[in-house]
Amino acid sequence: MSNKQQFSVTLPLDMAEVVETKLRLGEYASANELLSDGVRALLEREESLENWLREVVVAGHAEYLADPSKAAPAEELLARIKARRAGGR
How many domains is the chain partitioned into structurally? 1
Q: What is the pTM for the complete model shown?
A: 0.68
pLDDT exceeds 70 at position 1: no
Q: Which residue segment(s) compose the domain that 81 sits in?
A: 13-86
Domain-located, residue 30: yes
pLDDT score recorded for residue 72: 87
pLDDT score recorded for residue 87: 86
Decide: 22 and 34 in contact? Cβ < 8 Å.
Answer: yes
Domain-located, residue 6: no
